[in-house]
Each structure stands twice: as structure tokens, then as C-alpha cells.
Amino acid sequence: MQWWGSGWHPAKRPAIWLTTGALIILSSLFVAWWNADRLPPLFPPQLESLDRQAWTHGAEAFSLERYTAFHQDITDLRTQWRREQSRWWPTADTQTLQTTYQRLLHEGTDLLEASKHQKSTRHQQLTTALESERRQVNRLRALIGIFDVRRNLRALSVTEGLLNQAASRFKQDRDDQARILLLQARESLLPVESQAMAQMKRYGAASQLAKWNHWVASTLKWSSTTGGTAMIVLKASGQLVLYQHGKPLRRFPIELGFSGLQEKIQEGDGATPEGQFRILQKKEAGATKFHKALLLNYPTSEHRRRFQEAKVRGVVAAHRAIGGLIEIHGQQPNGNNTTNGCIALDNADMDVVFYLAKEGTPVTVVGALQSDNWIVKALHDITEHTRHRIALPAESGSVRHP
């Protein structure tokens, strides 16, 4: 047989084999490429969403190192992901990237939940502190009209305004701003607290209580010995007690000056003076602008001595007067029984007291007789608040967005 007449040449065999082999190899490579483990064409958004949510809930503030590492891992993974997508042939790192992706999903979920919990706890701490300061303001507000807090009324109003603004920021989920306002409110409240505590503390002082008890004891001893009528005014409990033969006869509710519970220092301070007095004059209707009145011998020589000492110490200005015209009186014609430092009764009660009183009748005015009076309890609450104020959590301070 002859090959050359058929068109088939032995020299062409290697080329055919090479071509066939190349086609087989290319087909295998195509199949391998087609079936290779591939990453999604775009970086999945779940991780970046977790990153934003964690940041929004304060992860950077609460767990700085953990969040920083998590955020950096996402950045690195995104870079590798894009590099892998730019290659024609997938590398062996595809599975590693997918494993890293799943790990970061779990880690981000845990970080987000931890941040939510910490943010909620922080919010609750701030809210509790806000309510605690509101209660302190209410305690101090309750002293208006009985202690001298007039100089600090503006500070109280400013504090209330700051607390209201803080509450508004809480509702807007702006805890950092609320925290700043809360700190400003506390600072505004400090002078009010200091002044109130300074005025209230003598109601629990052993030496002061002993002095008041001594005054009352000597007055009741006189009443018991003479059988005469005596009056004891208890400022803290708001009572005037009538005694005869050293025994209590009647009790009447009273009103005091606008700073009645304060120790009287000078004219115009609104305080009701304390001490052992006597009735100088009985004023019938028409002799006074009140229903009836009993004028006391204030200031006594002891009050004048203390007043001069206060001027020397600089507690009282040189131009100020000691004041006077302290009375036990009834209501004004319009029914008002407010007073600037006197002791006021309803008209019916004033009629009884006026009838039993005489010129020279002893009237002893004290703050309190027992250390468990309500002022001491109120002072304890105010003082405990200042000593154990709720600690505020640290400012989150995060301003960067991932």
C-alpha cells in the first residue's frame, strides 16, 4: 500500500496528537475553572452593616481595642476579597477568606449585642442620675418659705432648666449631650445645697438643742411655780402651745416668716427670732393692721449683743439694723396671715390666745426640742445625696464613622 497517494502523511501524526492533547487539557482546565470555589462578585454588605451598627451603639467607646481590631479585620478582608476577584484563576485562599468572613460575622454579632447592652446600661445610669437630681431639687424647693434660699432661687431655676434639657436629649438618644447638661445641673445646684445645709444643721446640733430645752424648761418651771400662763413656740413643728400650771392647755398651728426656720440675723431676713420673750403690749382690733396682736420685747439685750458681734465679724453689714416689731398676731382683713418674721395664727385661735395672754406673759420661741425632728431628716437626705451622688459613666467620645 502506498500512503502518499491517500493524502495521509506520517509526519503529521505528532501535530494531531499535540492538538488533541491540548484540547483535552484545556477542556479539563475549563471544567476546573468553571467548577472552582468562587467568591461573590461583590463584597457582602452584612459585615459593613454590623460595623456601622456596632459603632452607632458605642462599640468604639465601650470596647475600643476589640472594635478597632474588628474594624481593621473587615478592611483587610475587603482588600483581599477585591484582590481575589481581580484574578482570572481563583487561588487556594478562597476557602480561607470565606472562613474569615463567617468568623467576623459571629464576632460582629457578639460585639453589637455587647455594645447594645453597655449602651442600655449607660443610658439607665444617666436616667437614674437625672431622676436623683430632680428629687434633690424638690427637697430644696420645699425649703422655700421656711429657710432663706431666696438668693439661690435663680440657681434652682437654672438647674431645673438644665435637667429638663438633659431629659430631652435622652429622648433623642443623645446621651453624651445629656451627660454634659447633667454635670452642669449638678454644678449649679452646689451653692443651693451648701446654703441650705448650713442653715439646717443647727436643728440637729446637741449644743443648740440643749439651749432650746433649757429655755423651755425654765419657762415651764415659772408656769408651774406661779400657775401662770406661758407660751412655747416650736418653729420646726409649726405650733404654739399654751401652758398653765406648767401643763399644756391648748396647741395651735402657726405660720412663720418667709425664712421663719432660719436663725434671725438682721432686719428684713424673714426669720422668726428665737429666745425667751415677754409680751409688751396687747393690741386690740383697730390698734393693729391684723385682727389682734401681741407685741414681744424683741430685740432683747442678748439679741443686741449677738447682733453687734455679728457686725464685728462681718456677718452683718455695718448699715444694717437688727429689726423689731415682732408679734403674735391674727390675720389681716383680707384673710391673709402671711408674715415677715412674726408668729401668725388664724383669727379664732388668736382670740383664745389673746384672751389668756397678759402683758408680761412669757413667750419662749425655739427651733425644736428633739433631734429626730423633720428638719434633721430632711438635712440627712440632702447631705446623703451630696455625699453619694450617682457616678456618671464616662463620655463615649466617639465621632468617627467607619
- For 356-396, the pLDDT digits (tens) are 999 999 999 999 999 999 999 999 999 999 999 988 887 66
Exposed (0-12), middle (13-18) or buried (19+): which is 149, by Cβ within 10 Å?
Answer: buried
Residue 352 and residue 246 in one domain:
yes
Q: Is 286 left (phi over 0), alpha (psi -120 to 50) or beta?
A: left
Q: Please state the pTM of the whole predicted model.
A: 0.75
Residue 110 and residue 210 in one domain:
no
Mention every residue, 6+ apart, whose C-beta is less than 8 A from residue 53: 112
Residue 81 and residue 211 in one domain:
no
In a domain, 198, yes or no: no
Mention every residue, 6+ apart, whose C-beta is less than 8 A from residue 322: 266, 267, 299, 303, 304, 307
The CA distance from 159 to 302, in Å, is 40
Q: Check residue 43 and give its pLDDT.
A: 76
Residue 254 and residue 368 in one domain:
yes
Number of H helices, E strands in the chain: 11, 8
Parent domain of 105: 14-116
In a domain, 294, yes or no: yes
Residue 210 and residue 315 in one domain:
yes
Residues of the chain with pLDDT under 70: 1-40, 86-93, 335, 337, 395-402
Residue 224 and residue 372 in one domain:
yes
Q: Check residue 112 and give its pLDDT.
A: 84
Residue 347 and residue 249 in one domain:
yes
Q: Check residue 16 and give its pLDDT.
A: 65
Residue count (the chain): 402
In a domain, 314, yes or no: yes
Residue 106 and residue 228 in one domain:
no
How many Å separate Cα 357 from the centre of its chain? 49
Give, in order, the Cα–Cα distances in Å from 253 to each of 53, 56, 144. 63, 59, 19
In a domain, 79, yes or no: yes
Q: What is the CATH number of the domain that holds 355?
A: 2.40.440.10
Q: How many domains does the chain have?
A: 2
In a domain, 111, yes or no: yes
In a domain, 121, yes or no: no
In a domain, 144, yes or no: no
- For 4-35, the pLDDT digits (tens) are 344 545 555 666 666 665 556 555 444 444 44
In a domain, 4, yes or no: no
